[in-house]
A and B are shown apart, each in its own frame.
Chain A
Amino acid sequence: MKNSGYFSQFGGAFIPEILVPTFDELESAYLTARDDPDFWQEYLDIMSTYSCRATPITRLDNLTEQLGGANIYVKREDLNHTGAHKANNVMGQGLLTKRMGKKRVIAETGAGQHGVATATMAAKFGFDCTIYMGATDVARQRPNVFWMEQMGATVVAVTEGSQTLKDAINEAFRDWVTNMDDTHYVLGTACGPHPFPEMVSWFQSIIGTEAREQMLNRTGKLPKRVYACVGGGSNAMGIFSGFMDDKEVELVGVEAGGRGKGMGEHAARLAYDDATIGVAQGYKTYFLQNTDGQMQETHSVSAGLDYVGVSPILSHLHETKRVRFEAANDKDVVEAMQRTVRNEGLIPALESSHAFAQAYLEAPTLTSDDDILINMSGRADKDIFTVADAVDDPKWRDFIIDKAEAYRQEMNND
């Protein structure tokens, strides 16, 4: 490959020999597209006609008043088609897949958002599509599996390892080492071997580019702080990239604090001290692993942040201190979500609610001269099963019990 793909000591391409020519081809297609203004224009066109770009900025009037500090603005990535920023990445990679002349796409998915987004893209572009999803996630995210299958994707339940996101990534790679000739692997986040971290960040940079301009138009100045949740790191890279060169803007990445510090209790690779530098899934970054280098279990109320590694670019920005990393715990996250729903009528995904939780904590320490911006990476109403469990709603439980009973009677009558 032309570029080593390192961000200080993080990144690289630790790939099996069989994939070396495939990565060469991908890197070359990516670099060509990057140099081609027509490609980006085609991307902008499709994002404005198929998804809802440019997504707006919303001021949280009620919570700004209640919290009594900074003016709180939200970048509305929830308004993308399929309800999350994932659409930006998959449409970009879809265009690249077309350019490479490939006919099939595969993807990993944790909670299912990236799987659904990839399935929509495949349906639109006419690609065959296989989605790898941990068996545990398949069991708890049926609505997303339902939509992927409706769109014609094959969903493979991965029963290996911890049966979650990282195992789905391994399985997607196993497919790819067999079918690379006609297949592109649409990796869902700014992780994995080069050029994925850089390429996915490039597609997601559409968020930050829009947000910077919108804030300037709206408030006449740049925000003091920008908050984004960090799982793999793609929505954070997306919004941060718009403000990277504005040194006066503080960038805050919020990881899954889960039940608190201690291995197995959270998925905070950078905010806590439990992760160490390692190499897995094709790249070097901070991983939640033991001293032998074996990956450990993670926990978060939000499946989308529950991952052992983190974007190598964010590890780099952590070390250079350009981005400050914090962790929000499960309880505060659910509260932040409920607070946003009740006071603003916005429904942030549990993932995005990590960014809201941290912003609400810090807003009162700032003044009304300050603006802060939260990236609302996705919406939660499509995750109603998970969210209803997280807020522990008894009426929802009764509804599901009644529904199940009705199905049972229907089956008995057949």
Chain B
Amino acid sequence: MTRTPTKLEESIRQALTQKDILLMTHIVLGYPSFDDSLRVVEDMVEAGVDLMELQIPFSEPMADGPVILRANAGALDKGATVDQSFEMAERITKEFDIPFLFMTYYNILFSRGVGTFVEQCEQIGIQGCIVPDLPPAEGQEYLEAMQKAKMSPVHIFTPNTPEPRMQELNEKSAGFIYSVARKGVTGKDTAFSTELADYLAVCKANTDLPLAVGFGVKSREDVEFLRGKADIAVVGSETIRVMETDGVKAVKPFIQSLVA
């Protein structure tokens, strides 16, 4: 299948001419506060992160594990709204020159109106979205709006996904494919094994897009393991855990330790 690369895919391919594995990180907007979100993004970009997922907090984050779950709840307890998330994201995309995506659950899009949500994303310079509870069969309106806005809908491959389904998901995606390294929710341990390598080879064979790998990536060894097997290593819960344990200032050295 031939497709016109989106801006996100082009940026990723451009970055891949300089390094052989990129780093994507994940933060929950408004946790512990919006000011902290901004500071963490700044530190992450300075530390060499290549792209970032900004999660708009939701009260029922079904696919997230304890760390990100608590971050969602923490942001909402402080009164985080979707408008504030958009305002912060706009500031972030203006200030920093890497691609940013939104990650959130479908009700956030649905409540705002899917078309409006996507248009606003485009206006503030967000390049793609990951919506883990929206399979393509339920997402026709979303996919059409994303295509119209030339934005990237990112879908997920899992170890349970049969190959024909991977091809279907690949066709509905743009930007990159996010493969989860194992079953379960975010923020638990992953065995970086031959089995994982085999699974990633299957993922690679079923997409023409760059391949990101997330769930349980938390050390330099993990990132090294992924080199040559995937294009993007995703570090999600671990950065939030570092921030919770050692404070916002610890995030930058942690990210540097992953890519040094």
Contact = CB atoms under 8 A, between A and B. Distances in A.
B183 A14 contact: no
Contacts of A170: 60-62
B159 to A, nearest CB: 8
Given A20-B161, A170-B62, A180-B183, A12 B111 contact: no
A18 interface: yes
A160 interface: yes
Contact of B160 (A21, A161, A287): A21
A280 B107 contact: yes
A166 interface: yes
Interface string A269-284: 0000000101111101
B162 interface: yes
Contact of A180 (B81, B108, B137, B160): B160
Interface size class of B (residues with CB under 8 A): 35 or more
B185 A278 contact: no
Nearest to B185: A174
Contacts of A177: 63, 183-185
Closest 9 CB pairs of A and B: A293-B111, A178-B184, A293-B107, A18-B158, A294-B59, A17-B156, A295-B59, A16-B63, A292-B82
Contacts, number: 107
Contact of B185 (A4, A12, A178, A281): A178
Interface string B41-60: 00000000000000000111
Interface size class of A (residues with CB under 8 A): 35 or more
Contacts of A284: 110
Contact of A279 (B63, B110, B132, B156): B110
Interface of B: 58-63, 65-66, 69-70, 73, 76, 81-82, 105-108, 110-112, 132-135, 137-138, 155-162, 165, 169, 180, 183-185
Contact of B81 (A17, A166, A281, A292): A292
A354 to B, nearest CB: 25
B133 A15 contact: yes
A280 B137 contact: no
Contacts of B59: 161, 280, 294-295
Contacts of A289: 107, 111
A17 B157 contact: yes
Contacts of A279: 106-107, 110, 133
Max chain A CB contacts within 10 Å: which of B112, B155, B159, B183?
B183
Contacts of B137: 1, 4, 13
B133 A160 contact: no
B58 A294 contact: yes
Interface in A163-221: 166, 170, 173-174, 177-180
B62 A174 contact: yes
A252 B108 CA distance: 32
Nearest to B70: A160
